[in-house]
Amino acid sequence: MRQNLFATAVLLLLTVTAASAQNAAPLPSPIAAGNPAMIGPQLLIQTSAGDITLQLDNVRAPQSVAHILSLVRAGFYNGTAIYRVQKDFVIQMGSWGADGKGRGWNPKPVPLEANNGLKNFKFAIALPRGDDPNGAGPDFYINMRDNRELDQKPDDPRSGFAVFGEVTEASRAVVQAINDAPVGGGYGPFGASAPLTPVVIRRISVVGDPPPPPPPTLPAMTGPQLLIATTKGDIVLQLDAVRAPESVAHILRMARMGFYDGSAIYRVEKDFVIQMGSWDAQGKGKGWVPRPVKLEAANGLKNLKFAVALPRGDSPSSAGPDFYVNMKDSPELDQKPGDPSSGFAVFGQVTEASRPVVQAINDAAVGGGYGPFGASAPAQPIVIRRITVVGDPARPAAPARPAAKPPAR
């Protein structure tokens, strides 16, 4: 369905491209044709195949340029991919991630600027669009030949695709190499034209803009560590007994009494949270018994990826046995300013060495059907054999139960 919607959104470009590729030869040009010098900001596209610089023209295409700049400055393109390489025709990017998932077309009201005097010559950059000529999604394409059939027709002001920039001379070798590389990767709406080796767009930035602030990180934490021995591998948590003393004390008490032994990771909301504590490996609840644990969500620790926090009930100063691992930055789970009863208290984080194990759990198949979040339960149950406090004396194994006597006959 997503591919069909996307194909509809770029119907005009697809229709023209199919006809031109098969039936129309490029218009003859007695002299080398090209666009005039362009005036405006430059974009730096940092890709896994090399850096590409685009010279934009905000004099002739002010609204097209403003549209693209707004998406660049919002970080929309970071982590996307060049997903379509129609060799010697166009290279397209914008709305598909490096994971082969769509990020949404979401057209914006951008007046069609296809009559601005800039033409779809080789290395010119232009906006695809849907049926509405005065709308544009996040995509843009690079012409890999002179595509004059994509220009506005003199008698049709609703036709054509607006050129708003071009690849700089120094970057054209990188773009040509992308054009010439093997395709057939199979992802995105044009699978046969997807680069065989994905070309990841690490970041697009406006040349001259100040660098973005560094992403938030968790501070160093002081306190004990927990070792979670699971059937998927061992996980070590670094707790913060300074910033979250009551939350840490609560979890340590549960670990030392052996509550978690034999339980399971029962909820994996992919790229959101991994939760464990109150359900066992057979899908039976071990009991959510809330304790009067003071809400420590204002302790300065944030729900960033790999931070560990306490879920709670309706009362802010309560906590059951559960805890969760954030699998993305989730500021919506932090305490809101002015509302001391909101948020979830972070009390630790997954150590660097253990993060591959946690990521593998996040990426594993779900749909096991057990527990309160059956669709998010791991398809292959992940058993927590034991949680121990690193440095504690070894906890004795649970005494073996005597074998049941056979019934008398």
Residues 230 and 199 reside in one and the same domain: no
**199/301 same-domain check:** no
Does 14 lie in the same domain as 97?
A: yes
Average pLDDT over residues 216-232: 96
Does 135 lie in the same domain as 43? yes
Q: Please, which pLDDT band fits residue 402 given cuts at 50, 70 and 90? A: low
162 and 237 share one domain: no
3-class state of residue 125 by DSSP:
strand
Q: pTM score > 0.75 for this model?
A: no
Assess if residue 30 is contained within a domain: yes
253 and 170 share a domain? no
Q: Which of 173, 206, 239 is the last residue of a domain?
A: 206
Does 236 score more than 90 pLDDT? Answer: yes
257 and 126, same structural domain?
Answer: no
Residue 331 belongs to some domain of the structure: yes
Say how far apart CA 205 and CA 208 lie, in whole Å. 9
Name the nearest CA neighbour of 160 among 190, 136, 188: 136
CB 103 within 8 A of CB 76: yes
- Domain membership of residue 219 (yes or no) is no
Which one, of 38, 71, 70, lies nearest residue 55 by Cα? 38
Q: Same structural domain for residues 361 and 261?
A: yes
pLDDT value of position 1: 36
Q: Tens digits of per-residue pLDDT, 304-348?
A: 999 999 999 889 998 999 999 999 999 999 999 999 999 999 999
For residue 111, what is the DSSP state?
-
Whether 127 and 185 share a structural domain: yes
Pair (111, 251) in one structural domain: no
Residue 20 falls inside a structural domain: yes
Report if residue 407 sits inside a domain. no
Name the average pLDDT for the chain.
Answer: 90
Question: Do residue 246 and residue 114 come from a single domain?
Answer: no
Contact present, 91 and 52 (Cβ < 8 Å): no
Secondary structure element (H or E) that encloses residue 19, with its range? helix 11-23
Q: Per the domain annotation, does 80 fall within a domain? A: yes
Q: Residue 282: what pLDDT?
A: 86
Domain-embedded: residue 358: yes
Q: What is the pLDDT of residue 24?
A: 45
Could you give the number of structural domains in the chain? 2
3-class SS of residue 24: coil
Asked whether the beta carbons of 115 and 157 are under 8 A apart, the reply is yes
Which of residues 206, 237, 254 is at a domain's end?
206
Mean pLDDT calculated for residue range 194-216: 94
Last residue within a domain, chosen from 206, 236, 259: 206
Query: Over 70: is that where the pLDDT of 166 sits?
Result: yes
**CATH number, position 272:** 2.40.100.10
Q: What percent of the chain has pLDDT over 70?
A: 89
**In terms of domains, do 154 and 269 share one?**
no
d(CA 61, CA 112): 9
- Expressed as residue numbers, the domain containing 64 is 6-206
Which amino acid is residue 361, in one-letter code? I
What is the C-alpha to C-alpha distance for residues 197 and 178, in angstroms, rounded to an integer?
A: 10
